[in-house]
Structure 1
Amino acid sequence: MPTTKKEDFYFGMMMCFGMVVVMTFYNLIRNGLIGTIPLQGLLMQFVLGFITAFLLELFIVGPVAKKIALSLPYDKSKKVFVILSISFCMVIGMVLCMSLYGLVTAYFSNGLAGKPLLETYFSFVFNNFIFAFPLQLIIMGPLVRFLFSKFVKCKKMTESFG
């Protein structure tokens, strides 16, 4: 887990990168768009999604999610409870915000095909949450924490002893 602002920045960047890659492909597959978008468009979509997600995580969702998660009544001496509560709050916040981002991009790229705005948004939220929550808890969270401790925390320890 990150302990400094710099580590928090790296951890957030790693987590956003992984989640945006997987969620981008999930949404492309779910909407039948794999193979219909040229590579340049796919890269542009990824870059814009990553920048949006990272800025949200860094300035809005991350601070709010941590504040909420750490204010909940549970035993904070158990690291696993802290990780799970922060992850849960982060997924909820990011799904709500990034589904709105997806709604805006869908509207400007091809309209909503006559579907009601609110219904479409809640459909995006539902479909993204059912995929993002287990992805975060089971795959991406543990993977990023492992890579973070291996490369970022390890590097910091090596520098302080060197």
Structure 2
Amino acid sequence: MPTSKKENLQFGLIMCFLMVLVMTIYNLYLNGSIGKITFIEGLFDFLIGFAVAFILDMFIVGPNAKKLAFKLTANTSKKIYTVLAISSCMVLGMAFFMSIYGLVSTYIHSGFTSKSVLADYFAIFGKNFIMALPLQIIVMGPLVRHIFTKYIKTNIVT
């Protein structure tokens, strides 16, 4: 979809914004924090999560996910396989790193509540991955590609 660095930045901003927004609300719900925190606290959590996710997307996860996806789909000419491979690799990488962020954030806010950091991490990762993969493939991927193609890509071409 994006063909230049500027387009990649625009696409990444939209995708990160929407994914982090939904995943922040999801995690607040899972933690029972909706209704217990103020709007400003929720907004602050979202903004920090967005900044972390965007940096990961642009500099660590995104480039590596694309390299891996292009290697996995090198022998196919079907674009859908490449799109699904990139989406899946992105979700796997982002869920991995953002779950670390979530675990650290939880420990900062609540302290250590269990005996195993590893068990806590895998619980968070599993919950995030189960939500993020279908969200990315079924909802956000098509939505963001539509928004990008209709409102951004056409404005750049004309």
User: Contact 1:75–1:81 at 8 Å: present in 2 too?
Assistant: no
Q: 1:54-113: per-residue Cα shift (whole Å, max 9, x none)?
A: 000000000000011111155442111110000000000000000000001001111131
Q: Output the CA distance in 1 between the equivalents of 2:53 and 2:109.
A: 19
User: Does structure 2 conserve the Cα–Cα contact (< 8 Å) formed by 1:74 and 1:81?
Assistant: no
Who is 2:2 aligned against? 2
Deviation above 6 Å: which 4+ runs of structure 1? none
For residues 74 and 155 of structure 2, what CA distance do their matches in structure 1 show?
32
2:147 paired residue number: 147
Residue aligned with 2:80, SS? helix
- Please, what TM-score do these two structures have when normalized by structure 1? 0.94
Structure 1 counterpart of 2:82: 82
Structure 1's unaligned 5+ residue stretches are none
1:12-47 superposed Cα distances (whole Å, 9 cap, x missing partner): 110000000000000111111100011111111000
Distance in structure 2 (CA, Å) of the matches to 1:143 and 1:72? 24
Scaled by the length of structure 2, what TM-score is found?
A: 0.97
**Pairwise mapping of residues 46-61 of structure 1 onto structure 2 (< 5 A)?**
46-61=46-61
SS at match of 2:33: coil
Greater mean deviation of Cα atoms: 72-81 or 34-43: 72-81
Q: Please list, as runs of the form range in 1=range in 2, the aligned pairs for 1:56-67 lying within 5 A after superposition.
A: 56-67=56-67
* 2:54 partner SS: helix
The Cα offsets for residues 116-138 of structure 1, whole Å up to 9 and x where unpaired, read as 10000000010000000000000
What are the equivalent positions in structure 2 for 1:76-115 lying under 5 Å apart? Answer: 76-115=76-115
Cα 1:74–1:142 change in 2 (3 A) is same
Is residue 19–residue 136 contact of structure 2 (8 Å, CA) maintained in 1?
yes
Q: Which moved more, 1:71-80 or 1:89-98?
A: 71-80
Q: Aligned residues: percent identity? A: 52
Instruction: Give the Cα separation in 2 of the matches to 1:21 and 1:39.
Output: 13
**What is the alpha-carbon root mean square deviation over aligned residues?**
1.0
Distance in 2 between residues matched to 1:73 and 1:141, nearest whole Å: 18
Count of residues in Structure 1 that have an aligned counterpart in Structure 2? 158
Q: Is the 1:103–1:120 Cα contact (8 Å) retained in structure 2?
A: yes
